[in-house]
């Protein structure tokens, strides 16, 4: 009976063991201000989501789908009443996920905070990662990652992607790159070419464009001030000599996204 009882308890533990872990982290940004990040690891979906609200009211939500190697950066930008802007804009950028840049959900699910009130600063600055989108994602988002498709649903037709990543995803998805390419909506050719003689884009950058009805290249900057980017291992006792997991490594990284817009007035001040 005792053995049966233990088996029942073990089975119950498996059934009720949570597949999600949520951490609320107090983080100091580069300006010295304290912000709160919400990090969720979903073991069943093999995803990690990091969210925070910037001091300027912009909401950032970064999802990493480890199974499909897709990273989705969602940005929700409120309108500025002084400029007569109502509502908000939602943008989403899909890029190939470098798995080594974020710890996996199963490792995330094991994290616990000893001092939840502590204000944390990242150990390593990973610098800037620049991405230039070449197309609107169209229907390809759902083919690449159901989790990313749900994450970016509010962005509607403002989900951006680059052709180089489609080539990297195709072997994993088991399809030809052309199959992916047929599902995206490419930017106009002039948005993807440069004037070699002048060294400037054929389409001007939005910050230099004064005509609000003109097309231009917009850019957006996002900094993630603290995230678990790796595991730390310590050596065991001299007799055994085996290493064991004893903590996490934390990093800071900034992203700069360049993307085409049909009208200057749809490119707000994203700096």
pLDDT tens-digit readout, 119-174: 999 999 999 999 999 999 988 999 899 999 999 999 999 999 998 898 888 877 66
Burial annotation 192-223 (CB, 10 A radius, 16+ → b, else e): beeeeeeeebebbebeebeeeeebbbbbbebe
Please check the confidence at residue 89 and state whether its pLDDT lies above 60: yes
Residue 12 lies in a domain: no
Is residue 175 one of the residues assigned to a domain?
A: yes
User: 178 or 86, which is more confident?
Assistant: 178
| Range from 39-43, 82-86, 110-114, 176-180 that averages highest in pLDDT | 39-43
Among the ranges given (6-15, 56-65, 211-220), the one the predictor scored with the smallest mean pLDDT: 6-15
The larger pLDDT score, comparing residue 188 to residue 199, is at 188
Report pLDDT for 5. Answer: 40
| pLDDT value for 29 | 83
d(CA 127, CA 43): 29
- Give the domain range for residue 80: 20-266
Is 93 a domain residue? yes
pLDDT over 90, % of the chain: 47
Higher pLDDT, 257 or 11: 257
pLDDT, one tens digit per residue, over 189-219 is 888 775 444 455 578 899 888 898 999 999 9
Where does residue 149 fall: left (phi above 0), alpha (psi -120 to 50 degrees), or beta otherwise?
alpha
This prediction's pTM: 0.84
Average pLDDT over all residues of the chain: 82
- Residues 37-58 have a mean pLDDT of 93
Q: What's the total number of domains in the chain?
A: 1
Is 65 a residue whose pLDDT tops 90? yes
108-112 long-range CB contacts below 8 Å, 24 or more apart?
108/21, 108/39, 108/41, 108/48, 108/228, 109/18, 109/19, 109/20, 109/21, 109/41, 109/43, 110/21, 111/21, 111/23, 111/41, 111/228, 111/248
Residue 145 has a pLDDT of 93
Query: Is 6 part of a structural domain of the chain?
Result: no
Q: Does residue 50 lie within any of the structural domains?
A: yes
Please state which of the ranges 75-79, 161-165, 180-184 shows the lowest mean pLDDT. Answer: 180-184
Residue 271 counted as domain residue: no
Residue 3, domain member (yes or no): no
Backbone φ and ψ of 219, nearest 5°: -140, 155
184 is a domain residue: yes
């Amino acid at each position: 009976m005792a053995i049966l009882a233990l088996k029942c308890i073990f089975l119950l533990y498996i059934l009720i063991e949570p597949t999600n872990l949520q951490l609320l982290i107090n983080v100091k940004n580069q300006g010295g201000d304290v912000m709160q990040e919400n990090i969720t690891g979903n073991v069943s979906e093999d995803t990690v989501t990091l969210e925070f609200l910037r001091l300027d009211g912009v909401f950032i939500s970064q999802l990493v789908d480890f199974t499909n190697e897709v990273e989705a950066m969602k940005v929700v930008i409120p309108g500025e009443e002084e400029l007569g802007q109502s509502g908000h804009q939602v943008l989403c950028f899909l890029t190939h996920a470098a798995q080594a840049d974020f710890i996996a959900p199963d490792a995330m699910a094991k994290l616990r905070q000893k001092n939840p009130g502590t204000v944390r600063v990242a150990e390593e600055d990973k610098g800037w990662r620049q991405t230039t989108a070449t197309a609107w994602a169209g229907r390809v988002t759902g083919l690449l990652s159901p989790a990313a498709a749900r994450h970016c649903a509010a962005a509607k037709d403002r989900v951006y992607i680059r052709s180089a990543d489609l080539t990297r995803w195709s072997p994993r998805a088991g399809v030809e790159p052309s199959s992916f390419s047929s599902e995206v909506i490419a930017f106009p050719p002039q948005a993807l070419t440069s004037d070699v003689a002048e060294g400037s884009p054929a389409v001007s950058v939005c910050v230099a464009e004064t005509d609000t009805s003109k097309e231009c290249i917009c850019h957006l900057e996002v900094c993630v001030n603290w995230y678990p980017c790796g595991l730390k291992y310590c050596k065991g006792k001299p007799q055994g000599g085996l290493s064991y997991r004893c903590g996490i490594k934390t990093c800071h990284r900034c992203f700069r996204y360049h993307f085409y817009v049909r009208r200057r007035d749809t490119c707000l001040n994203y700096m």
